[in-house]
Amino acid sequence: MSVFNAPEMESEEFELWQAYLEKQTGLWLPESRKPFLIRALSGYMLSKGISNYRELYFKLNAGAVSVGDWASLVDSLTVNETCFYREKHSLGLVSSYCRNMAIERFQAAPDKPQHLQLWSVGCSTGEEVYTLAIEMDKLNLGLHDSVGKEVYFGVTGIDISYPSLAVAREGVYAARQLDFVPMVTKNLYFNRLADGYFQIRDNIRQRCCFIQSNILEMKAKLKQNYDVIYCQNVLIYFKQDRKQSVIDELVERLKPGGLLVLGHGEITGTNNDLLTKVDNKHCLAYLRKDK
């Protein structure tokens, strides 16, 4: 057997894997992603001498597949391609919200240090996390000039993929991933390495942390609440009923008055009574009610 000559997957087998993946990770594979599943499974089966999909399924259930191998299988089923400054309108909304929130807090308590915590859900290889951190650092430069103060901030990234998080923690990227980064920003926040690579500077990396988890484990992995939750192109991997439950979980981790930013088209609406939709035609976002 080779990856290019993988065994046919029967409909019953595909449904078996659909159910297993959703139970373990929350991810839902539509029929259109069946080829991705076959490619991922057949590659692993070839390396381990496993002859069919059911045999691999039973090995997984019996705990005979290592954590690392399972993580690699899941990683191959999700799209990890991303870049810096991917969603400019959403980023602009976050920057504006954080600036207004910081000024309000300084006015209410001039002598009290202020903190802002942001969370990137499904952060992949870290570009989104570092983009948010860069924008927060720029915000501080503006606040220092206008009100003579700065906020303490941190950005948390969470993703299911161990390989993606390894890249994120290192913070090294090819030049093409910085195509949308303004030159001034590139010069200020990146160190140029050999062979056309760039690395995020330490002052930004130190503001960021990365956690491996899936949607089903958020309660156990995350204890704090956030001012901003940034969730772009994540809900596309879930069924409609699961999308609502994910949003409800995110709202539990959102501070009163906090901002939840979603991807356009990922959900048509939410019935969570704690959320109020932000009036913005360019991006989908909600504010959590104060009470």
Residue 191's φ and ψ, nearest 5 degrees, are -100, 130
**Mean pLDDT for all residues in the chain:** 87
Note whether 112 and 68 are same-domain residues. no
Note whether 190 and 50 are same-domain residues. no
Kindly state whether residue 67 falls inside one of the protein's structural domains: yes
Residue 243 has pLDDT above 70, yes or no: yes
Kindly state whether residue 82 falls inside one of the protein's structural domains: no
Which residue range forms the structural domain that includes residue 126? 88-288
Domain stop point among 75, 107, 132? 75
Domain total for the chain? Answer: 2
Kindly state whether residue 133 falls inside one of the protein's structural domains: yes
pLDDT in tens, 56-72: 888 888 888 887 777 77
Give 237 or 232, the one with higher predicted confidence.
232
Would you list the DSSP string of 216-266? GGHHHH--S-EEEEEE-S-GGGS-HHHHHHHHHHHHHTEEEEEEEEE-TTS
Domain stop point among 75, 105, 123? 75
Kindly state whether residue 186 falls inside one of the protein's structural domains: yes
Kindly state whether residue 81 falls inside one of the protein's structural domains: no
**pLDDT bucket at 119, cuts 50 / 70 / 90:** very high
Report strand pairing: 172-174 vs 197-200.
antiparallel
Note whether 146 and 264 are same-domain residues. yes
pTM: 0.85
The two structure tokens encoding residue 38: 């076959």
pLDDT at 291: 60
For position 168, which CATH number holds?
3.40.50.150
Kindly state whether residue 83 falls inside one of the protein's structural domains: no
Q: What is the mean pLDDT of residues 233-241?
A: 79
Note whether 253 and 280 are same-domain residues. yes
Are the beta carbons of 242 and 26 closer than 8 angstroms?
A: yes
For position 23, which CATH number holds?
1.10.155
pLDDT at 80: 59
pLDDT in tens, 221-232: 777 899 999 998
Kindly state whether residue 243 falls inside one of the protein's structural domains: yes
Note whether 133 and 157 are same-domain residues. yes
Note whether 94 and 189 are same-domain residues. yes
Domain stop point among 75, 103, 134? 75
Are the beta carbons of 72 and 262 closer than 8 angstroms?
A: no
Neighbours of 32 (CB within 10 A): 7
Note whether 95 and 129 are same-domain residues. yes
Note whether 144 and 267 are same-domain residues. yes
Residue 127 has pLDDT above 90, yes or no: yes
Kindly state whether residue 279 falls inside one of the protein's structural domains: yes
**pLDDT bucket at 79, cuts 50 / 70 / 90:** low
Note whether 98 and 30 are same-domain residues. no
